[in-house]
């Protein structure tokens, strides 16, 4: 369906859990966060019901995320249920990869279309510093396991961290040299702990990569569900992508809404506005009532974020939760 600004909203990101097996410095405190009880998290049946209603309204693509989605048992069954919904064309996954090797076979059998593996460095010591866990080898095993399934598109997501992982931008991009991997560099979003980390702009990352690999050819066309722009460096098999929400604001083409693990439907990452679908579901709201509320949230999606306009929004309207609780 269209929102009030004429944008076609067709992409739903679902956080299936707020829990994670890593403690990335820009996402979660070292001691973790206060975990929500299982009873407060949407069941797979509830998530599937919401997806079924969203599909009637024009949602065609679903991303499963977290926290870390693979720490929730039985994720393959949810994936399969969503894939079976009429109108859903793609179901994809974002993961840190640590548990991917042991689950990829089941996910592939359930119909997984693509997987994004979050990986900010290939250096073990730096990985331990950024994630507070010694799991780089497990993450790389997960990435390799996913590459054994040619029908599953594989991407690597790197958050470009100013003063932290510049030395790794080249090695990460080089993963796309001879393999069908798209490596994307993401600007730090000023949400939660991310506010403490200055972002590295798309231009800064590109200049570093150009110095290493030469001038890239920027590509036109749609290569995924989101706002990434892509380039191909000389001799590379895979592509290099840039997701630059701060320096290259893409709100005018935003096509997504987010569902938190607790069932809160958010039309925009920056704002706390939305609707508690869990309460409606558990108060036995009917299909029509749910559909009308989802339709209202989508229609009223804000025009844009205001990350670079300090004080432009009321503080009570801004999202105060960590990214792990919202869904990355």
Other beta carbons within 10 angstroms of residue 57's beta carbon come to 16
Indicate the annotated binding residues for [4Fe-4S] cluster.
20, 24, 27, 251, 254, 268
pLDDT mean over 8-31: 92
Q: Are 323 and 195 in contact (CB under 8 A)?
A: no
Cα–Cα distance for residue pair 328/314, rounded to 1 Å: 23
Question: Tokens at residue 289, please?
Answer: 């009532």
What pairing do the DSSP bridges indicate for beta strands 114-118 and 153-160? parallel
Cα–Cα distance for residue pair 148/73, rounded to 1 Å: 23
Indicate the annotated binding residues.
13, 20, 24, 26-27, 67, 94, 118, 155, 189, 251, 254, 256-258, 268
User: Is the pTM here over 0.75, yes or no?
Assistant: yes
Question: Cα 213 vs. chain centroid, distance in angstroms?
Answer: 27
Q: How confident is the model at residue 103 (pLDDT cuts 50, 70, 90)?
A: very high
Indicate the annotated binding residues for GTP.
13, 94, 155, 256-258
Beta strands in the chain (DSSP E): 11-15, 61-65, 90-95, 114-118, 153-160, 181-187, 217-218, 229-232, 240-243, 256-259, 264-266, 275-276
Structural domains of the chain sorted by starting position, each given as residue range(s) with its CATH number in brackets: 11-326 (3.20.20.70)
pLDDT mean over 176-199: 81
Q: What angle do CA 61, 281, 48 make, to 5 degrees?
A: 30
| Mean pLDDT, the chain, whole residue set | 90
Indicate the annotated binding residues for S-adenosyl-L-methionine.
26, 67, 118, 189
Q: How confident is the model at residue 328 (pLDDT cuts 50, 70, 90)?
A: low
Torsion angle of the four alpha carbons 167, 192, 71, 42, in this order, in degrees rounded to the nearest 10: -150
Cα–Cα distance for residue pair 132/125, rounded to 1 Å: 10
Per-residue pLDDT of 220-257, as tens digits, reads 877 777 678 999 999 999 999 998 877 666 788 889 99
Strand partners, 230: 241
pLDDT mean over 43-62: 98
């Amino acid at each position: 369906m269209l929102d009030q600004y004429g944008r076609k909203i067709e992409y739903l990101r679902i956080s299936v859990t707020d829990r994670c097996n890593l403690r990335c410095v820009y996402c979660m405190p070292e001691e973790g966060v206060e975990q929500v009880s299982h009873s407060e998290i949407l069941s797979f049946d509830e998530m599937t019901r919401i997806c079924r209603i969203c599909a009637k309204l024009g949602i065609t693509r679903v991303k499963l995320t977290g926290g870390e989605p693979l720490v929730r048992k039985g994720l393959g069954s949810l994936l399969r249920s969503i894939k079976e919904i009429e109108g859903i064309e793609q179901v994809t996954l974002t993961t840190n990869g640590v548990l991917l090797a042991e689950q990829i076979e089941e996910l592939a059998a359930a119909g997984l279309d693509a997987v994004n593996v979050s990986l900010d460095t290939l250096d073990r010591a730096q990985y331990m510093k950024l994630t507070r866990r010694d799991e780089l080898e497990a993450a790389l095993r997960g990435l390799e396991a996913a590459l054994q399934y040619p029908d599953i598109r594989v991407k690597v997501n790197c958050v470009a961290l100013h003063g932290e992982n510049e030395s790794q931008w080249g090695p990460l991009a080089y993963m796309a040299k001879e393999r069908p991997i798209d490596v994307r560099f993401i600007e730090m979003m000023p949400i939660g702990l991310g506010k403490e980390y200055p972002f590295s702009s798309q231009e800064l990352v590109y200049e570093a990569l150009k110095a290493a690999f030469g001038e890239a050819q920027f590509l036109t066309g749609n290569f995924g569900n989101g706002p990434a722009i892509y380039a191909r460096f000389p001799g590379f098999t895979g592509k290099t992508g840039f997701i630059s929400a701060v320096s290259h604001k893409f709100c005018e083409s935003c096509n997504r809404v987010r569902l938190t693990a607790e069932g809160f439907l958010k039309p925009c990452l920056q704002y706390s506005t939305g609707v508690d679908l869990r309460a409606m579901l558990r108060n036995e709201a009917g299909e029509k009532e749910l559909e009308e509320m989802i339709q209202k949230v989508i229609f009223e999606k804000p025009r844009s974020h205001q990350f670079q306009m300090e004080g432009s929004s009321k503080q009570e309207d801004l999202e105060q939760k960590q990214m792990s609780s919202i869904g990355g």
